[in-house]
Amino acid sequence: MTASREVGATTVARAVALRATGIERTFRHAGGPVHVLRGVDLAVAAGELVTLSGPSGSGKSALLAVLAGFDRADAGTVELGGEVLTSPPSWQRCALLPQALGLAGELTLAENVALPVRLGRVGSLARVTELLVELGIGDLADRYPAEVSFGQQQRAALARAVVGSPRVLLADEPTAHLDRHSAPKAVQVLRQAADAGAAVLIATHHDEVHRAADRTVVLDGGRVSGRVSP
Ligand SMILES: Nc1ncnc2c1ncn2[C@@H]1O[C@H](COP(=O)(O)OP(=O)(O)OP(=O)(O)O)[C@@H](O)[C@H]1O
């Protein structure tokens, strides 16, 4: 399974690292069922940065949770590197930066970012420090999440997602809480991950993230309603 892109006069074939086929998800609660994902098909190649666009409530976060193995689809399949996902993947196969960040409150920012290194044996402690500095939070490495702003926490969560160089990197609104100085740094880190070979999929409402993308997939009412190439 390959995708391709034009580089000068040469066509470069790239393997599809992430493929979703016919994804369906219905949430059930007191008010009745909510059919959130309605047959989503999507593929992202290694080295490609794709943004996921769409109105609030269109199912972007729900889709990312299924792709990351955090949630199970009611129907359809997710393939990572051609293998069907049946259990939560390792840090190296797929990492998610969730909207709620999920930092451990009892660990410092540096310890949070180092979790994939210590638990998943991926990346390195030198890379932890490098990423914290690159994202402008090097001086906050020894603080706890409750002692920094939400935007600073968001940058630490981004560093934790990329430190192990995952083959598939998913990010849910990674610049939502960042200002005009720190947002470009976050975009740069995401773009670098794609340029180093990761398949990167980002749900975002921000134009500067879309501008860094190779293409955009639009989700509306739980369906892919369009695909845009910049
Ligand atoms: N656990 C749940 N139970 C019931 N409904 C849910 C649940 N989680 C999400 N939903 C509903 O699913 C729909 C899609 O939500 P989702 O968070 O995926 O949207 P989104 O596109 O990421 O929105 P935003 O841009 O605001 O982050 C919404 O209508 C939401 O209310």
Which ligand 1 atom lies nearest to the CA of residue 63? 18
This prediction has a pTM of: 0.92
* pLDDT-based confidence at residue 134 (cuts at 50, 70, 90): very high
Interval 139-188: pLDDT, tens? 999 999 999 999 999 999 999 999 999 999 999 999 999 999 999 999 99
What confidence score (pLDDT) does residue 7 get? 47
What confidence score (pLDDT) does residue 229 get? 57
Q: Which residue has the higher pLDDT, 182 or 229?
A: 182
Residues 6+ apart with CB under 8 A from 56: 205
Interval 82-129: pLDDT, tens? 999 988 898 889 999 999 999 999 999 999 999 999 987 888 899 999
Residue nearest to atom 18 of ligand 1 (CA): 59
Instruction: Reply yes or no on whether the pLDDT at 10 is more than 50.
Output: no
Instruction: Reply yes or no on whether the pLDDT at 1 is more than 50.
Output: no
Amino acid at 13: A
Using CA atoms, how far residue 131 sits from 72, 127, 206, in Å, is 31, 6, 22
With beta carbons less than 8 A apart as the criterion, state whether 213 and 203 touch. no
What whole-number distance in Å separates Cα of residue 91 and Cα of residue 200? 14
What would you measure as the largest C-alpha separation in the chain, in angstroms? 57
Q: Which residue among 34, 206, 217 is best mutated to probe the pocket of ligand 1, counting the most ligand atoms within 8 A of its Cβ?
A: 34
Using CA atoms, how far residue 31 sits from 28, 34, 35, 200, in Å, is 8, 9, 12, 35
Q: Which residue has the higher pLDDT, 4 or 22?
A: 22
CATH numbers and ranges of domains, the chain: 16-225 (3.40.50.300)
For 153, counting Cβ atoms within 10 Å of its Cβ (0-12 exposed, 13-18 middle, 19+ buried), the class is: buried
What confidence score (pLDDT) does residue 228 get? 65
What whole-number distance in Å separates Cα of residue 50 and Cα of residue 140? 31
Task: Report CA(216)–ligand 1 centroid distance (Å).
Answer: 20
Of the candidate ranges 19-23, 34-38, 119-123, 146-150, the one whose mean pLDDT is the lowest: 119-123
What confidence score (pLDDT) does residue 48 get? 97
What confidence score (pLDDT) does residue 8 get? 46
Task: Report CA(176)–ligand 1 centroid distance (Å).
Answer: 16
* pLDDT-based confidence at residue 51 (cuts at 50, 70, 90): very high
Instruction: Reply yes or no on whether the pLDDT at 18 is more than 80.
Output: yes
